[in-house]
Amino acid sequence: MKVLVAVKRVIDYNVKIRVKADKTGVETANVKMSMNPFDEIAVEEAIRLKEGGAATEIVAVSIGPQACQETIRTALAMGADRGIHVLTDQPVEPLAVAKLLKAVVAAENPQLVILGKQAIDDDCNQTGQMLSALLGWPQGAFASKLKLGADEATVTREVDGGLETIAVKLPAVVTADLRLNEPRYASLPNIMKAKKKPIDQKTPEALGVDIAPRLVTLQVTEPVKRQGGKKLGSVEELVEKLMTEAQVI
Protein backbone atom coordinates (compact mmCIF):
# COMPACT_ATOMS: atom_id res chain seq x y z
CA MET A 1 0.00 0.00 0.00
CA LYS A 2 1.24 3.44 -0.92
CA VAL A 3 0.99 6.15 1.75
CA LEU A 4 1.16 9.87 1.02
CA VAL A 5 2.21 12.27 3.77
CA ALA A 6 1.91 16.04 3.54
CA VAL A 7 4.55 18.14 5.28
CA LYS A 8 4.55 21.90 5.83
CA ARG A 9 7.50 24.19 6.43
CA VAL A 10 6.74 26.49 9.36
CA ILE A 11 8.55 28.69 11.84
CA ASP A 12 10.20 26.35 14.34
CA TYR A 13 8.03 25.78 17.38
CA ASN A 14 10.78 26.98 19.70
CA VAL A 15 11.02 30.40 18.07
CA LYS A 16 9.27 33.27 19.77
CA ILE A 17 7.47 34.91 16.89
CA ARG A 18 7.53 38.65 16.24
CA VAL A 19 4.72 40.58 14.63
CA LYS A 20 5.96 42.95 11.91
CA ALA A 21 5.77 46.64 12.77
CA ASP A 22 3.70 47.39 9.66
CA LYS A 23 1.11 44.80 10.79
CA THR A 24 1.32 42.84 7.54
CA GLY A 25 2.26 39.58 9.18
CA VAL A 26 4.83 37.78 11.25
CA GLU A 27 8.59 38.18 10.74
CA THR A 28 9.93 35.16 8.82
CA ALA A 29 13.25 36.54 7.57
CA ASN A 30 16.26 34.94 9.31
CA VAL A 31 14.01 32.82 11.47
CA LYS A 32 14.63 29.12 12.00
CA MET A 33 12.16 27.02 10.00
CA SER A 34 11.27 23.36 10.56
CA MET A 35 8.73 20.75 9.68
CA ASN A 36 5.36 21.36 11.33
CA PRO A 37 5.48 19.15 14.47
CA PHE A 38 2.14 17.48 13.73
CA ASP A 39 3.44 16.60 10.24
CA GLU A 40 6.49 14.94 11.83
CA ILE A 41 4.04 12.72 13.66
CA ALA A 42 2.31 11.97 10.34
CA VAL A 43 5.62 11.00 8.74
CA GLU A 44 6.54 8.83 11.73
CA GLU A 45 3.21 7.01 11.53
CA ALA A 46 3.71 6.28 7.85
CA ILE A 47 7.19 4.91 8.56
CA ARG A 48 5.84 2.69 11.32
CA LEU A 49 3.20 1.37 8.91
CA LYS A 50 5.97 0.52 6.46
CA GLU A 51 8.14 -1.08 9.16
CA GLY A 52 5.13 -3.12 10.25
CA GLY A 53 4.58 -4.35 6.71
CA ALA A 54 1.29 -2.54 6.08
CA ALA A 55 2.74 0.14 3.79
CA THR A 56 5.07 -0.41 0.86
CA GLU A 57 6.00 3.10 -0.22
CA ILE A 58 5.91 6.53 1.44
CA VAL A 59 5.69 9.68 -0.64
CA ALA A 60 6.24 13.01 1.15
CA VAL A 61 4.63 16.08 -0.39
CA SER A 62 5.29 19.72 0.44
CA ILE A 63 3.88 22.87 -1.09
CA GLY A 64 5.59 26.24 -1.09
CA PRO A 65 8.86 27.97 -1.99
CA GLN A 66 12.08 26.25 -3.01
CA ALA A 67 13.14 25.95 0.64
CA CYS A 68 10.37 23.38 1.19
CA GLN A 69 12.81 20.90 -0.32
CA GLU A 70 14.59 20.95 3.06
CA THR A 71 11.36 19.90 4.74
CA ILE A 72 10.93 17.07 2.24
CA ARG A 73 14.56 16.03 2.85
CA THR A 74 13.79 15.83 6.55
CA ALA A 75 10.91 13.45 5.79
CA LEU A 76 13.18 11.43 3.48
CA ALA A 77 15.85 11.25 6.19
CA MET A 78 13.26 9.99 8.66
CA GLY A 79 12.35 7.20 6.22
CA ALA A 80 10.05 8.39 3.42
CA ASP A 81 10.97 6.93 0.02
CA ARG A 82 10.60 9.88 -2.31
CA GLY A 83 9.32 13.44 -2.41
CA ILE A 84 7.04 15.65 -4.43
CA HIS A 85 7.47 19.40 -4.22
CA VAL A 86 4.74 21.68 -5.53
CA LEU A 87 6.64 24.91 -6.11
CA THR A 88 4.93 28.24 -5.50
CA ASP A 89 6.00 31.50 -3.93
CA GLN A 90 2.40 32.58 -3.36
CA PRO A 91 0.86 32.08 0.07
CA VAL A 92 -1.50 29.09 -0.07
CA GLU A 93 -4.63 28.75 2.01
CA PRO A 94 -5.80 25.33 3.25
CA LEU A 95 -8.41 25.04 0.48
CA ALA A 96 -5.75 25.57 -2.19
CA VAL A 97 -3.44 23.09 -0.44
CA ALA A 98 -6.23 20.52 -0.35
CA LYS A 99 -6.87 21.01 -4.08
CA LEU A 100 -3.16 20.63 -4.89
CA LEU A 101 -2.94 17.49 -2.75
CA LYS A 102 -6.03 16.12 -4.48
CA ALA A 103 -4.25 16.54 -7.83
CA VAL A 104 -1.19 14.74 -6.44
CA VAL A 105 -3.40 11.96 -5.08
CA ALA A 106 -4.97 11.56 -8.52
CA ALA A 107 -1.54 10.99 -10.02
CA GLU A 108 -0.15 8.78 -7.22
CA ASN A 109 -3.17 6.70 -6.16
CA PRO A 110 -2.28 6.19 -2.49
CA GLN A 111 -4.61 4.18 -0.25
CA LEU A 112 -3.92 6.43 2.70
CA VAL A 113 -3.00 10.09 3.14
CA ILE A 114 -1.68 11.18 6.53
CA LEU A 115 -1.32 14.84 7.50
CA GLY A 116 -0.72 16.72 10.72
CA LYS A 117 -4.02 17.82 12.25
CA GLN A 118 -2.96 21.45 12.26
CA ALA A 119 -0.07 23.68 11.23
CA ILE A 120 1.39 25.66 14.11
CA ASP A 121 1.64 28.88 12.08
CA ASP A 122 -1.91 29.61 10.87
CA ASP A 123 -3.53 27.15 13.34
CA CYS A 124 -6.27 26.44 10.79
CA ASN A 125 -6.87 22.71 11.33
CA GLN A 126 -8.56 22.32 7.94
CA THR A 127 -6.42 20.76 5.23
CA GLY A 128 -6.91 17.05 5.96
CA GLN A 129 -10.67 17.32 6.31
CA MET A 130 -10.87 19.45 3.16
CA LEU A 131 -8.78 17.00 1.17
CA SER A 132 -10.94 14.14 2.36
CA ALA A 133 -14.12 15.97 1.31
CA LEU A 134 -12.72 16.88 -2.12
CA LEU A 135 -11.71 13.26 -2.71
CA GLY A 136 -15.03 11.92 -1.42
CA TRP A 137 -13.04 9.75 1.00
CA PRO A 138 -13.74 9.19 4.69
CA GLN A 139 -11.62 10.94 7.29
CA GLY A 140 -10.16 10.03 10.65
CA ALA A 141 -9.24 13.39 12.16
CA PHE A 142 -7.15 13.96 15.34
CA ALA A 143 -5.92 10.36 15.42
CA SER A 144 -4.21 9.06 18.53
CA LYS A 145 -4.18 5.45 17.27
CA LEU A 146 -4.32 3.99 13.77
CA LYS A 147 -4.76 0.36 12.75
CA LEU A 148 -4.93 -0.72 9.14
CA GLY A 149 -7.09 -3.63 8.01
CA ALA A 150 -7.61 -5.03 4.53
CA ASP A 151 -10.22 -2.55 3.34
CA GLU A 152 -10.77 -0.48 6.48
CA ALA A 153 -8.77 1.49 9.00
CA THR A 154 -9.64 1.78 12.67
CA VAL A 155 -8.93 5.24 14.01
CA THR A 156 -9.04 6.31 17.64
CA ARG A 157 -9.70 10.02 17.73
CA GLU A 158 -8.99 12.61 20.40
CA VAL A 159 -12.24 14.42 21.16
CA ASP A 160 -13.14 16.87 23.94
CA GLY A 161 -13.64 14.82 27.06
CA GLY A 162 -12.04 11.59 25.86
CA LEU A 163 -11.56 9.30 22.88
CA GLU A 164 -13.77 8.08 20.06
CA THR A 165 -13.08 5.11 17.80
CA ILE A 166 -14.34 4.87 14.22
CA ALA A 167 -13.79 2.53 11.29
CA VAL A 168 -13.22 4.22 7.93
CA LYS A 169 -13.23 2.59 4.50
CA LEU A 170 -10.01 2.78 2.53
CA PRO A 171 -8.82 4.86 0.81
CA ALA A 172 -8.97 7.43 3.61
CA VAL A 173 -7.42 10.58 5.00
CA VAL A 174 -6.05 10.54 8.56
CA THR A 175 -4.84 13.57 10.51
CA ALA A 176 -2.30 13.07 13.29
CA ASP A 177 -2.80 14.34 16.81
CA LEU A 178 -0.06 14.79 19.35
CA ARG A 179 -0.22 11.39 20.99
CA LEU A 180 -0.27 9.23 17.86
CA ASN A 181 3.46 8.55 18.28
CA GLU A 182 6.79 10.13 19.12
CA PRO A 183 8.66 11.01 15.94
CA ARG A 184 12.22 9.72 15.57
CA TYR A 185 15.28 11.81 14.88
CA ALA A 186 16.93 11.13 11.56
CA SER A 187 20.32 9.45 11.93
CA LEU A 188 23.36 10.87 10.15
CA PRO A 189 23.64 7.92 7.71
CA ASN A 190 19.94 8.35 6.89
CA ILE A 191 20.40 12.08 6.35
CA MET A 192 23.20 11.25 3.89
CA LYS A 193 21.07 8.60 2.17
CA ALA A 194 18.14 11.02 1.92
CA LYS A 195 20.23 13.30 -0.29
CA LYS A 196 20.09 10.66 -3.01
CA LYS A 197 16.34 10.07 -2.81
CA PRO A 198 14.37 11.67 -5.66
CA ILE A 199 12.22 14.79 -5.30
CA ASP A 200 9.88 15.45 -8.19
CA GLN A 201 8.94 19.10 -8.74
CA LYS A 202 5.55 20.29 -9.96
CA THR A 203 3.69 23.61 -10.12
CA PRO A 204 0.09 24.57 -9.35
CA GLU A 205 -0.32 25.50 -13.03
CA ALA A 206 0.85 22.08 -14.20
CA LEU A 207 -1.54 20.46 -11.72
CA GLY A 208 -4.36 22.69 -13.02
CA VAL A 209 -5.19 24.21 -9.64
CA ASP A 210 -6.20 27.82 -9.01
CA ILE A 211 -4.56 28.83 -5.74
CA ALA A 212 -5.87 32.40 -5.56
CA PRO A 213 -6.57 33.25 -1.90
CA ARG A 214 -10.14 33.67 -0.67
CA LEU A 215 -9.25 35.66 2.40
CA VAL A 216 -7.56 39.04 2.63
CA THR A 217 -5.42 39.57 5.70
CA LEU A 218 -6.17 43.14 6.74
CA GLN A 219 -3.74 43.24 9.63
CA VAL A 220 -1.77 41.10 12.05
CA THR A 221 -1.28 42.48 15.53
CA GLU A 222 0.08 41.44 18.89
CA PRO A 223 -2.47 40.21 21.39
CA VAL A 224 -3.40 42.47 24.28
CA LYS A 225 -0.82 41.98 27.01
CA ARG A 226 -1.90 41.04 30.50
CA GLN A 227 -0.81 43.25 33.33
CA GLY A 228 0.57 40.57 35.62
CA GLY A 229 3.50 40.35 37.92
CA LYS A 230 2.03 41.22 41.30
CA LYS A 231 3.41 39.00 44.06
CA LEU A 232 1.78 38.48 47.42
CA GLY A 233 3.25 37.55 50.76
CA SER A 234 0.90 34.92 52.18
CA VAL A 235 -2.03 32.63 51.45
CA GLU A 236 -4.16 34.74 53.81
CA GLU A 237 -3.49 37.77 51.64
CA LEU A 238 -4.28 35.75 48.48
CA VAL A 239 -7.63 34.51 49.77
CA GLU A 240 -8.48 38.03 50.94
CA LYS A 241 -7.67 39.48 47.48
CA LEU A 242 -9.65 36.78 45.69
CA MET A 243 -12.66 37.44 47.90
CA THR A 244 -12.70 41.22 48.07
CA GLU A 245 -10.59 42.69 45.25
CA ALA A 246 -11.14 40.16 42.43
CA GLN A 247 -14.42 38.84 43.83
CA VAL A 248 -14.04 35.50 42.11
CA ILE A 249 -14.59 33.23 45.12
Partner 1 sequence: MPSALVIAEHDNHALKGSTAHAITAAREMGGEIHVLIAGSGCRAVAEEAAKLEGVGKVLLAEAPALEHPAAEDLAALAVALAESHDHIVAPASTFGKNFMPRVAALLDVAQISDISAVIAPDIFERPIYAGNAIARVQSKDPVKVITVRGTAFPSARPGASRAPIETIDPGQETGLSRFLGAELAQLARPELTAARIIVSGGRGMQSGDNFKLLESLADKLGAAVGASRAAVDAGFVPNDYQVGQTGKIVAPELYIAVGISGAIQHLAGMKDSKVIVAINKDEEAPIFQVADYGLVGDLFQIVPALDAELAKKLANR
The one among 31, 169, 187, 203 contacting partner 1 by CB under 8 A: 169
Residue whose CB is less far from partner 1, 108 or 122: 122
Q: Which of residues 118-157 bind partner 1 (CB under 8 A)?
A: 120-134, 137-142, 154, 157
Pairing status of strand 172-176 against strand 112-116: parallel
Does 196 engage in binding with partner 1 (CB under 8 A)? no
The DSSP element (H or E) to which 145 belongs, if any, is: strand 139-148
Does 192 engage in binding with partner 1 (CB under 8 A)? no
Q: Which amino acid is at 63?
A: I
Does 31 engage in binding with partner 1 (CB under 8 A)? no
Q: Which amino acid is at 175?
A: T
Residue whose CB is less far from partner 1, 122 or 200: 122
Burial 80-100 (b: 16+ CB within 10 A, else e): bbebbbbbbeeebbbbbbbbb
Choices 14-22, 52-60, 83-91, 189-197 (CB under 8 A): range interacting with partner 1:
14-22
Residues facing residue 174 across a β-bridge: 114, 140
- Cβ(6)–Cβ(42) below 8 Å: yes
Cβ 75 to partner 1, closest distance in Å?
21
Cβ 245 to partner 1, closest distance in Å?
9
Residue whose CB is less far from partner 1, 16 or 195: 16
Handedness of CA 58, 159, 215, 136 (dihedral sign): positive
